[in-house]
Amino acid sequence: MTDSLMMGGSAGASGGAPRDAVATFERHRAELRATKRVWNIVALGAFTICLGLSVWISQFYPDRLASGIPRIFEYFGTILPDLQWDVLFEGRTAEGRAVPGSLTFWYTDFRTYIGLLWETILMAITATLLGAGAAFLLCFPAAANLAPAGWVYWISRRFLEVCRGIPEILLALVFVFMIGIGPLAGIIAIAIHTAGALGKLFAEVNENASSRPVEGITAVGGTWAEKMAYGVVPQVAPNFFSYAMLRFEINVRASSIIGFVGAGGIGQELNRVISFYSDDRVLAVLILVVLMVTAIDLISERIRLGYIGRENFR
């Protein structure tokens, strides 16, 4: 009788333990859900307040937008060329003058524009190469899983933040003041910003790389540089190339903008025609800039996808 009571008590105790564990788990889960709900409400409230403040500070009101949209068409109306169909394709006269109303008259400075567009492309290429090279060297110590020491990681990260934290146009303004008007100031400014932006992207790619090749090279006594060169670079090279090509596209557009502060390229000519003429020559330059950026984007996309595709199918 006593034995049977003891067995029944032990069975009840063993059955109560799982129930207590389940109850504890459910209480903990309920607490986590309640905490998450509170933080979601707080985050939504903070987002709503920030959105309202941004709308108020920027005066992003529908009536203001509605009244401002027609002005866009008014401006474009002032820069539309006065083309005439009967002389549209006329060349220059015997005296070397372009006929008003023709495409030749509209693009009188076409050769100048083409030369400046080519200068803009060369600026973007040079700045991208310099910036990507600096980013490549800094991305390994700037990766948390690859940095040889904590202080090296901290310094590398902060340096990249400074490089990409200053806008290109402000850097260009500083370098124009230092070394004078011309494309060199623009190249240095874009290269510094490119190093900061690509360095962060490259470092994040490194942090997602597999550690097994690095561990294998470490096991055979490889140095830190050898671990980076043979254990990490082969894994991340396709992503590095893709990001560098994307950055080149961005730098082409940046090279067109920093010319407004005298840093060379087509932007400098665009600033000149806007400041002194504000007529159809503004539209002529804008069309060429858009065509250049579009062509560069299409070509770089083909190159980037082709390179990544070859890497994936090897």
* CA-based nearest residue to 255, from 282, 200, 292: 292
Domain ranges for the chain, please list them: 2-60, 73-107, 109-312
Element (H, E) at 132: helix 110-139
Please, are residues 116 and 183 in contact by the beta-carbon 8 Å criterion?
A: no
How many Cβ atoms are within 10 Å of 166's Cβ, its own excluded? Answer: 14
Using CA atoms of 278, 280, 284, 286 in order, give the dihedral in degrees to the nearest 10.
40
* CA-based nearest residue to 166, from 197, 136, 141, 142: 197
Percent helix, percent strand, percent coil in the chain, to nearest 5: 80, 0, 20
pLDDT given at position 128: 95
Q: What is the pLDDT along the chain (314 residues), one digit of tens a residue?
A: 455 544 455 545 555 667 777 778 788 888 888 889 999 999 999 999 999 998 888 888 888 878 877 777 777 777 778 888 887 788 787 777 887 888 888 888 888 889 999 999 999 999 999 999 999 999 999 999 889 888 999 999 999 999 999 999 899 999 998 988 889 999 999 999 999 999 999 999 999 988 898 889 888 888 999 999 999 999 999 899 989 998 998 999 888 888 888 888 888 888 888 777 667 788 888 888 889 988 988 888 888 777 766 545 44
Please, are residues 160 and 141 in contact by the beta-carbon 8 Å criterion?
A: no
CATH number of 109-312: 1.10.3720.10
pLDDT given at position 25: 78
Task: Round to whole Å and give the CA distance between 51 and 57.
Answer: 10
